[in-house]
Amino acid sequence: MTTADILQASQENYRSGYVAIIGRPNVGKSTLLNRILGQHLSITSKKPQTTRHRLLGIKTTSTAQAVYIDTPGLHQNHKGAMHRYMNREAITTLNDVDVIVFVVDRIKLTAEDDYAIELLQKCRQPIILAVNKVDKINNKELLLPFMEELSKRLNFSHVIPISASKGDNIDQLEHQIESQLHLSTPYFPDQQLTDKSDRFLAAELIREKIMRLLGQEVPYSVAVEVEAFEEDSTIIKISAIIWVERANQKGIIIGHKGQQLKDIGMQARVSMESLYDKKVFVKLWVKVKEGWSDDERALKSLGYYS
Protein backbone atom coordinates (compact mmCIF):
# COMPACT_ATOMS: atom_id res chain seq x y z
CA MET A 1 0.00 0.00 0.00
CA THR A 2 1.38 3.40 -0.99
CA THR A 3 1.55 6.47 1.23
CA ALA A 4 -1.32 7.98 -0.78
CA ASP A 5 -3.43 4.85 -0.16
CA ILE A 6 -2.77 5.03 3.59
CA LEU A 7 -3.67 8.74 3.67
CA GLN A 8 -6.89 8.12 1.73
CA ALA A 9 -7.85 5.24 4.02
CA SER A 10 -7.30 7.37 7.12
CA GLN A 11 -9.41 10.16 5.62
CA GLU A 12 -12.22 7.74 4.79
CA ASN A 13 -12.31 6.57 8.42
CA TYR A 14 -12.08 10.05 9.93
CA ARG A 15 -14.86 11.01 12.34
CA SER A 16 -16.19 14.42 13.31
CA GLY A 17 -19.14 15.73 15.27
CA TYR A 18 -20.58 17.92 17.99
CA VAL A 19 -20.68 16.79 21.61
CA ALA A 20 -22.80 18.50 24.28
CA ILE A 21 -21.61 18.42 27.90
CA ILE A 22 -24.85 18.66 29.90
CA GLY A 23 -25.73 18.62 33.59
CA ARG A 24 -26.91 20.69 36.52
CA PRO A 25 -24.75 23.52 37.86
CA ASN A 26 -21.42 22.74 39.51
CA VAL A 27 -21.02 19.08 38.49
CA GLY A 28 -17.69 19.74 36.76
CA LYS A 29 -18.65 20.26 33.10
CA SER A 30 -16.12 23.03 32.50
CA THR A 31 -13.39 21.14 34.34
CA LEU A 32 -14.11 18.14 32.11
CA LEU A 33 -13.82 20.24 28.95
CA ASN A 34 -10.52 21.74 30.12
CA ARG A 35 -9.18 18.28 30.95
CA ILE A 36 -10.09 16.93 27.50
CA LEU A 37 -8.55 19.92 25.73
CA GLY A 38 -5.48 19.99 27.93
CA GLN A 39 -5.93 23.75 28.31
CA HIS A 40 -7.77 26.15 30.62
CA LEU A 41 -10.38 27.39 28.14
CA SER A 42 -13.66 27.30 30.08
CA ILE A 43 -13.68 29.24 33.35
CA THR A 44 -14.25 27.37 36.59
CA SER A 45 -15.00 28.09 40.22
CA LYS A 46 -16.63 26.34 43.17
CA LYS A 47 -19.73 28.52 42.76
CA PRO A 48 -22.71 27.15 40.78
CA GLN A 49 -23.62 28.77 37.45
CA THR A 50 -20.12 30.03 36.73
CA THR A 51 -20.67 29.18 33.05
CA ARG A 52 -23.13 31.54 31.37
CA HIS A 53 -22.50 30.94 27.65
CA ARG A 54 -22.24 28.02 25.30
CA LEU A 55 -18.54 27.57 24.61
CA LEU A 56 -17.05 25.43 21.85
CA GLY A 57 -13.84 23.55 22.60
CA ILE A 58 -12.36 21.76 19.61
CA LYS A 59 -10.24 18.61 20.05
CA THR A 60 -8.57 17.49 16.83
CA THR A 61 -6.54 14.28 16.57
CA SER A 62 -5.28 12.12 13.70
CA THR A 63 -8.51 10.08 13.78
CA ALA A 64 -11.27 12.46 14.85
CA GLN A 65 -12.40 16.01 15.55
CA ALA A 66 -14.78 16.32 18.49
CA VAL A 67 -16.38 19.74 18.88
CA TYR A 68 -17.37 19.93 22.54
CA ILE A 69 -20.01 22.39 23.73
CA ASP A 70 -19.75 23.40 27.37
CA THR A 71 -23.15 24.63 28.51
CA PRO A 72 -24.56 26.56 31.48
CA GLY A 73 -25.90 24.28 34.18
CA LEU A 74 -29.52 23.21 33.73
CA HIS A 75 -31.57 24.63 36.58
CA GLN A 76 -35.20 25.10 37.51
CA ASN A 77 -34.96 28.75 38.51
CA HIS A 78 -36.46 30.46 35.47
CA LYS A 79 -36.86 33.83 37.21
CA GLY A 80 -34.93 36.69 35.69
CA ALA A 81 -33.59 37.32 32.21
CA MET A 82 -30.15 35.90 33.01
CA HIS A 83 -31.55 32.57 34.24
CA ARG A 84 -33.83 32.31 31.21
CA TYR A 85 -30.88 33.02 28.94
CA MET A 86 -28.66 30.34 30.54
CA ASN A 87 -31.36 27.67 30.43
CA ARG A 88 -32.09 28.47 26.80
CA GLU A 89 -28.40 28.20 25.94
CA ALA A 90 -28.24 24.73 27.50
CA ILE A 91 -31.54 23.37 26.18
CA THR A 92 -31.13 24.54 22.57
CA THR A 93 -27.74 22.84 22.46
CA LEU A 94 -29.47 19.45 22.73
CA ASN A 95 -30.96 19.93 19.27
CA ASP A 96 -27.64 20.64 17.57
CA VAL A 97 -25.30 17.82 18.58
CA ASP A 98 -24.41 14.25 17.64
CA VAL A 99 -23.50 12.93 21.11
CA ILE A 100 -24.51 14.02 24.62
CA VAL A 101 -22.36 13.59 27.74
CA PHE A 102 -24.56 13.82 30.83
CA VAL A 103 -22.43 14.68 33.85
CA VAL A 104 -23.56 13.98 37.42
CA ASP A 105 -21.78 14.67 40.69
CA ARG A 106 -20.89 11.43 42.45
CA ILE A 107 -23.87 9.33 43.54
CA LYS A 108 -26.40 11.89 44.75
CA LEU A 109 -29.07 13.26 42.46
CA THR A 110 -30.94 16.52 43.02
CA ALA A 111 -34.19 17.94 41.66
CA GLU A 112 -32.11 19.70 38.99
CA ASP A 113 -30.62 16.35 37.92
CA ASP A 114 -34.17 15.04 37.61
CA TYR A 115 -35.04 18.06 35.47
CA ALA A 116 -32.07 17.32 33.20
CA ILE A 117 -33.13 13.67 32.92
CA GLU A 118 -36.64 14.71 31.85
CA LEU A 119 -35.14 16.80 29.06
CA LEU A 120 -32.75 14.05 27.99
CA GLN A 121 -35.54 11.48 27.79
CA LYS A 122 -36.76 13.34 24.71
CA CYS A 123 -33.38 13.15 22.95
CA ARG A 124 -32.54 10.59 20.29
CA GLN A 125 -28.77 11.04 20.19
CA PRO A 126 -26.43 8.63 22.01
CA ILE A 127 -26.12 9.70 25.66
CA ILE A 128 -23.04 8.83 27.71
CA LEU A 129 -23.36 9.03 31.48
CA ALA A 130 -20.21 10.45 33.12
CA VAL A 131 -20.30 10.01 36.88
CA ASN A 132 -17.81 12.69 37.95
CA LYS A 133 -15.76 13.16 41.14
CA VAL A 134 -15.65 9.42 41.87
CA ASP A 135 -12.32 10.02 43.62
CA LYS A 136 -14.35 11.75 46.36
CA ILE A 137 -16.76 8.85 46.95
CA ASN A 138 -15.87 7.26 50.29
CA ASN A 139 -17.82 4.04 49.83
CA LYS A 140 -17.07 2.85 46.27
CA GLU A 141 -19.47 -0.09 46.70
CA LEU A 142 -22.35 2.35 46.26
CA LEU A 143 -21.19 3.39 42.79
CA LEU A 144 -22.31 0.38 40.76
CA PRO A 145 -25.88 0.24 42.21
CA PHE A 146 -26.21 3.98 41.57
CA MET A 147 -25.16 3.63 37.93
CA GLU A 148 -27.50 0.66 37.44
CA GLU A 149 -30.43 2.54 38.95
CA LEU A 150 -29.83 5.63 36.84
CA SER A 151 -29.53 3.47 33.73
CA LYS A 152 -33.14 2.39 34.27
CA ARG A 153 -34.23 6.00 33.76
CA LEU A 154 -32.22 6.73 30.62
CA ASN A 155 -30.91 4.43 27.91
CA PHE A 156 -27.22 5.32 28.05
CA SER A 157 -24.88 4.12 25.34
CA HIS A 158 -22.11 3.93 27.96
CA VAL A 159 -21.74 4.63 31.68
CA ILE A 160 -18.27 5.78 32.74
CA PRO A 161 -17.10 6.82 36.23
CA ILE A 162 -14.57 9.65 35.91
CA SER A 163 -12.61 12.28 37.78
CA ALA A 164 -12.30 15.34 35.58
CA SER A 165 -9.97 17.05 38.07
CA LYS A 166 -7.56 14.09 38.25
CA GLY A 167 -8.02 12.75 34.71
CA ASP A 168 -9.31 9.31 35.71
CA ASN A 169 -10.98 7.44 32.80
CA ILE A 170 -10.98 10.49 30.54
CA ASP A 171 -9.24 8.50 27.78
CA GLN A 172 -12.01 5.90 27.97
CA LEU A 173 -14.66 8.61 27.79
CA GLU A 174 -13.04 10.19 24.73
CA HIS A 175 -12.77 6.80 23.02
CA GLN A 176 -16.48 6.13 23.44
CA ILE A 177 -17.35 9.63 22.23
CA GLU A 178 -15.19 9.22 19.13
CA SER A 179 -16.74 5.86 18.29
CA GLN A 180 -20.16 7.53 18.02
CA LEU A 181 -19.18 10.47 15.84
CA HIS A 182 -20.09 10.42 12.15
CA LEU A 183 -17.68 9.57 9.37
CA SER A 184 -16.79 13.06 8.19
CA THR A 185 -13.96 15.40 7.38
CA PRO A 186 -13.12 17.97 10.11
CA TYR A 187 -15.42 20.95 10.53
CA PHE A 188 -12.68 23.31 11.75
CA PRO A 189 -8.98 23.86 10.98
CA ASP A 190 -6.83 21.50 13.03
CA GLN A 191 -5.20 24.34 15.02
CA GLN A 192 -8.47 26.03 16.04
CA LEU A 193 -9.31 25.63 19.73
CA THR A 194 -12.62 27.48 20.06
CA ASP A 195 -15.20 29.59 18.27
CA LYS A 196 -14.89 32.46 20.75
CA SER A 197 -12.83 35.60 20.23
CA ASP A 198 -9.83 36.61 22.31
CA ARG A 199 -11.93 39.48 23.69
CA PHE A 200 -14.56 37.01 24.94
CA LEU A 201 -11.94 34.77 26.57
CA ALA A 202 -10.31 37.76 28.28
CA ALA A 203 -13.66 38.89 29.71
CA GLU A 204 -14.39 35.39 30.97
CA LEU A 205 -11.01 35.07 32.69
CA ILE A 206 -11.59 38.35 34.51
CA ARG A 207 -15.04 37.14 35.60
CA GLU A 208 -13.51 33.85 36.76
CA LYS A 209 -11.20 35.66 39.16
CA ILE A 210 -14.15 37.65 40.53
CA MET A 211 -16.08 34.40 41.05
CA ARG A 212 -13.15 32.89 42.91
CA LEU A 213 -12.09 35.86 45.01
CA LEU A 214 -15.40 37.33 46.15
CA GLY A 215 -18.27 36.11 48.32
CA GLN A 216 -21.41 34.23 47.43
CA GLU A 217 -23.63 37.03 46.14
CA VAL A 218 -21.57 39.70 44.39
CA PRO A 219 -20.19 37.54 41.53
CA TYR A 220 -23.70 36.81 40.24
CA SER A 221 -24.32 40.54 39.80
CA VAL A 222 -21.17 41.01 37.71
CA ALA A 223 -20.58 41.20 33.97
CA VAL A 224 -17.33 42.03 32.19
CA GLU A 225 -17.06 44.06 28.99
CA VAL A 226 -13.72 44.31 27.18
CA GLU A 227 -13.53 47.79 25.68
CA ALA A 228 -10.08 47.53 24.10
CA PHE A 229 -7.92 44.60 23.03
CA GLU A 230 -4.70 45.80 21.40
CA GLU A 231 -2.08 43.27 20.37
CA ASP A 232 1.37 43.63 18.87
CA SER A 233 4.31 41.27 18.56
CA THR A 234 5.31 41.47 22.22
CA ILE A 235 2.30 42.46 24.37
CA ILE A 236 -1.48 42.50 24.59
CA LYS A 237 -3.08 45.55 26.22
CA ILE A 238 -6.60 44.98 27.56
CA SER A 239 -9.02 47.52 29.01
CA ALA A 240 -12.22 46.17 30.58
CA ILE A 241 -15.22 47.37 32.54
CA ILE A 242 -16.61 45.30 35.41
CA TRP A 243 -20.35 46.05 35.56
CA VAL A 244 -22.22 45.63 38.84
CA GLU A 245 -25.82 46.29 39.80
CA ARG A 246 -25.42 48.37 42.99
CA ALA A 247 -23.02 50.97 44.32
CA ASN A 248 -22.06 48.89 47.37
CA GLN A 249 -20.98 46.06 45.04
CA LYS A 250 -18.62 48.47 43.30
CA GLY A 251 -16.95 49.20 46.64
CA ILE A 252 -16.57 45.49 47.41
CA ILE A 253 -14.89 44.74 44.08
CA ILE A 254 -12.53 47.72 44.36
CA GLY A 255 -11.67 46.85 47.95
CA HIS A 256 -9.65 48.78 50.52
CA LYS A 257 -7.34 51.19 48.67
CA GLY A 258 -8.13 49.34 45.46
CA GLN A 259 -6.43 46.10 46.57
CA GLN A 260 -9.22 43.72 45.59
CA LEU A 261 -9.36 45.12 42.07
CA LYS A 262 -5.56 44.85 41.83
CA ASP A 263 -5.74 41.18 42.86
CA ILE A 264 -8.44 40.48 40.27
CA GLY A 265 -6.37 42.13 37.56
CA MET A 266 -3.15 40.38 38.57
CA GLN A 267 -4.69 36.90 38.62
CA ALA A 268 -6.49 37.53 35.32
CA ARG A 269 -3.24 38.70 33.74
CA VAL A 270 -1.40 35.54 34.80
CA SER A 271 -4.11 33.32 33.29
CA MET A 272 -4.21 35.38 30.09
CA GLU A 273 -0.46 35.15 29.64
CA SER A 274 -0.72 31.38 29.91
CA LEU A 275 -3.59 31.26 27.40
CA TYR A 276 -2.16 33.71 24.85
CA ASP A 277 1.52 32.84 25.44
CA LYS A 278 2.37 36.52 25.45
CA LYS A 279 2.90 39.33 27.95
CA VAL A 280 -0.41 40.97 28.95
CA PHE A 281 -1.27 44.35 30.49
CA VAL A 282 -4.74 44.63 32.08
CA LYS A 283 -6.56 47.82 33.09
CA LEU A 284 -9.88 47.47 34.94
CA TRP A 285 -12.69 49.86 35.85
CA VAL A 286 -15.83 49.17 37.90
CA LYS A 287 -19.14 50.77 36.93
CA VAL A 288 -22.77 50.44 38.04
CA LYS A 289 -25.60 49.43 35.69
CA GLU A 290 -28.64 48.87 37.89
CA GLY A 291 -30.68 45.74 37.20
CA TRP A 292 -28.64 44.65 34.19
CA SER A 293 -29.07 40.91 34.88
CA ASP A 294 -32.86 41.11 34.56
CA ASP A 295 -32.91 43.44 31.57
CA GLU A 296 -32.81 41.72 28.17
CA ARG A 297 -31.73 44.93 26.45
CA ALA A 298 -28.80 45.29 28.85
CA LEU A 299 -27.93 41.62 28.40
CA LYS A 300 -27.84 42.06 24.62
CA SER A 301 -25.55 45.06 24.95
CA LEU A 302 -23.20 42.89 27.04
CA GLY A 303 -23.18 40.07 24.48
CA TYR A 304 -25.62 37.66 26.12
CA TYR A 305 -28.00 37.52 23.17
CA SER A 306 -26.98 37.31 19.54
Least Cα distance to 11 among 183, 177, 178, 189 occurs for 183
Within 10 angstroms of residue 291's Cβ, the number of other Cβ atoms is: 12
User: Which residues constitute the domain of residue 93?
Assistant: 3-183
The CATH number linked to 244 is 3.30.300.20
| Inter-CA distances, 297 with 78, 161, 223, 240, Å | 18, 42, 14, 20
Q: Is the pLDDT of residue 187 over 90?
A: yes
pLDDT, tens digit, 9 for 90 and up, residues 234-244:
999 999 999 99
Where would I find the H helices in the chain? 3-12, 29-37, 81-93, 111-120, 143-151, 170-179, 198-213, 247-254, 259-276, 296-301
Regarding whether 213 and 151 lie in a shared domain, the answer is: no
The last residue of one of the domains, among 152, 183, 214, is 183
Regarding whether 71 and 116 lie in a shared domain, the answer is: yes
Number of domains the chain contains: 2
Regarding whether 91 and 13 lie in a shared domain, the answer is: yes
- 174 Cβ contact list (under 8 Å, min separation 6): 36, 59, 66
**pLDDT, mean of residues 6-12:** 57
pLDDT at position 306: 55
Regarding whether 216 and 161 lie in a shared domain, the answer is: no
Tell me if the pTM is above 0.85: yes
Regarding whether 17 and 133 lie in a shared domain, the answer is: yes
pLDDT at position 182: 95
**pLDDT, mean of residues 97-114:** 95
Specify if 190 maps to a domain: no
Specify if 33 maps to a domain: yes
Regarding whether 135 and 10 lie in a shared domain, the answer is: yes
List phi, psi (to 5°) of 226.
Answer: -85, 115
What distance in Å separates the CA atoms of residue 287 and residue 250, rounded to the nearest whole number? 7
Mean pLDDT of the chain, nearest integer: 90
Regarding whether 206 and 174 lie in a shared domain, the answer is: no
The CATH number linked to 32 is 3.40.50.300
**pLDDT, mean of residues 43-52:** 80
Regarding whether 255 and 225 lie in a shared domain, the answer is: yes
pLDDT at position 292: 83
pLDDT at position 291: 84
Specify if 287 maps to a domain: yes
The last residue of one of the domains, among 183, 216, 244, is 183
